Structure 1
Amino acid sequence: MFWKMENDDVHLAFVPIQSYKAACTERIDAMPIEEKAWEEMVKNILRAEMMRRGVSYAGLADRLGEYGIEDNELNLRNKVSRGRFTAVFFMQCMQALGVEILQIPHAVEEAGKRGGAQALAKSRPEKAN
């Protein structure tokens, strides 16, 4: 069902689902991904970048301090373990870690699983074109 407008008149139309699918530019057959899976993935990306560089939470706190971002090891550990932080914080961490290329996993749920940070740390980022 969708709304169709003709000459300032609004009509309600029923369209077979196959026609609707063909008309859509976005994938509608994909299942929605829960927010928690996204949080877990982002947390694992950050942890993977720390692992790749051999940086502890204390080391990350020191590196962030060089950018004027004051935080301590315990606060960082808690913030990252929750997986709920701002995009600004994430980018500050990427900058502090010296990340130049960030590979975003295609499978959000897979990257968000337990052990996902280790798997991501072992994978190599693709080179930018």
Structure 2
Amino acid sequence: MSQSLARALQLLQALEDGPRSLDELAAGAEVHKTTVLRLLRTLEADRFVVHDEAHRYQLGSRVFELANAALSQRDVRQIARRHLELLNEATGQTVHLATREGDEVVYIDKLDAPQGCGCTRA
């Protein structure tokens, strides 16, 4: 993987926990601020990040668009949906559909507990 791409991805991951300043991002990446600023400007041009008046950067709308596209491409969501609905109805609880990717669990669908259910089933 190219060094620039790796650094850009690292910046996006750093923004996962909330807005960060240029100084915070540069320190976290252990890269000079001018390099981080160049990458951020590229990411901002494509709406992967946005910055506010306080010059703090956060994830942009393009990240949400890609996440939504990734979810919609998972056929398992359509196949599992009726089963999730049945489980949700039977238990009255919030149910999740997840998959394992490497050493991580990625949630790909969710049905909230019915409102006012008052269910006490486990």
Q: Would the TM-score normalized by the shorter structure come out above 0.5?
A: no
Greater strand percent: which structure? 2
Determine which structure has more spread, i.e. the larger CA radius of gyration.
Answer: 1
Kindly indicate whether structure 1 or structure 2 has the higher relative contact order, using CA contacts under 8 Å at least 6 residues apart: 1
